[in-house]
Structure formats: C-alpha cells, structure tokens
Amino acid sequence: MTDGSHPGPRPGPRVVAVVTDLMDRSRLQAAVPGITFTLVDGADVVVCDLAQGVEPVRRVRREQPRARIVCFGAHVDTDAMDEARAAGADAVLARSRFFRDPAAALHDDA
C-alpha cells in the first residue's frame, strides 16, 4: 500500500530514433523497450542513422542541447562519422558495433 509520498520507480531514459530503415527499427524495438521513432522534445537519448545525413544531428543538438546523441553508420564512411562528431554527436559508432548491443551503445561509456 502506498500513501502517495513515494513516486515509485523512475522510468528509464526516453529514447527516440531518427531511423527510417524498417529492419533497423525492428532491431531497435527488440533491444530498447519503449523506443519511439518520432522526434519529441525532452528526449534523453536520440539515435541517428547517418545514412540519412548529418542534418538530423545538427537539428537535435540545436533543439535539444541536453540530449545524448548516438549515431551509427557505415564503417567506411569516415567523412559522415567525422561530420556527425563535429555537429555535436556524443557517440558515433560503426553500424556493426552499434547493432552488436544497441542498448549498451546508448550509455555514456559506449
């Protein structure tokens, strides 16, 4: 029985993915419960697929400066990875490394 003085367990971080590939979305949904694919204010973590370019990274950094931005892309596309870092991404990983454990990639030590 609760008296209302304890708020209960804190929900996990609000994770949003800017990802259009349906296979990638499925993999993310399986690995990250509660992930959404519509960019909203107040996201704690935003995942960006560099196949869509770097503009989403710039937009998120500008509109949600406190969000952790995690990007993934082709390991051979070092230019896009460098651009994402310059645009404010907190973590930029090769696609294979990111999808090895997407949930772990969302944390600061990824």
pTM value is: 0.85
Does the structure show a pLDDT above 70 at 7?
A: no
Homologous superfamily, domain 15-105: Response regulator (3.40.50.2300)
CA 51 distance to own-chain centroid: 14
- Judged by DSSP in three states, 2 sits in coil
The stretch 76-99 carries a mean pLDDT of 96
pLDDT value at position 17?
A: 96
- Judged by DSSP in three states, 69 sits in strand
Q: Where are the beta strands (DSSP E) in 1-110?
A: 15-18, 45-49, 68-73, 91-94
Does the structure show a pLDDT above 50 at 110?
A: yes
CA 57 distance to own-chain centroid: 10
Does the structure show a pLDDT above 60 at 9?
A: no
Q: What is the pLDDT of residues 30-41, one digit of tens each?
A: 999 999 999 888
Domain edges within the chain:
15-105
